[in-house]
Amino acid sequence: MRPVTEHDIRTSFVNCSKGEAKRLGLPKDLADQPWEDLDFLGWRDPGAPERAYLVAERDDRLVGVSLRATSGGSRGFTSRSMCSLCLTTHPGGGVALMTARRTGESGRQGNSVGQYLCADLACSLYTRGRKQAAGDGVVVVEESLTPAEKAVRTRANLHSFLDKVTG
Ligand SMILES: [Zn+2]
């Protein structure tokens, strides 16, 4: 994706109030993100760990989504879970249930959409082999896709998630 500024991010959110968008904590190293390798910018709020955000390009505009994270702590240390965007499997805690309030009337009625995502929202880096899931080598799911093909799949999964939030 193309590099984005603080202003771009704060004005991109579709499912939270302007006040929240103004106050939310940005990634500390925003200027140094590996933009060329990002399908979307995702991060946990440095000041509020249960909050997470993702910002993606859609049709030449930015769409930001505010998320609430619930860690799947009760699943046990040895179990692994899979991110629904990039399909990376992680040991316990590496995947979190993230819930997004839907936009518009549906959101005002309290409806939300939940998906299991990489807890650090670094899907783009996992698919490109720039970051490894903890415990890799114990259970390896062999995939024949290239990193570029995985990135295409991640973006497709992300877009269907965004459709559910805004649809
Ligand atoms: Zn992921």
CB 71 within 8 Å of CB 87: no
pLDDT range class, residue 79, cuts 50, 70, 90: confident
117 CA distance to ligand 1 centroid (A)?
A: 5
Residue 104 CA to ligand 1 centre (angstroms): 27
Q: Which residues contact 16 (CB under 8 A, 6 or more apart)?
A: 24, 66, 101
Q: Is the pTM of this model over 0.85?
A: yes
**What average pLDDT does the chain have?**
91
Ligand 1 centroid, distance to 83 Cα (angstroms): 5
Distance 70 CA to ligand 1 centre (A): 15
CA of 76 to the centre of ligand 1 (A): 20
Tens-place pLDDT, residues 90-132: 987 899 999 999 999 999 999 999 999 999 999 999 999 999 9
Distance of alpha carbon 110 from the chain centroid: 21
8 A C-beta contact, residue 116 and residue 97: yes
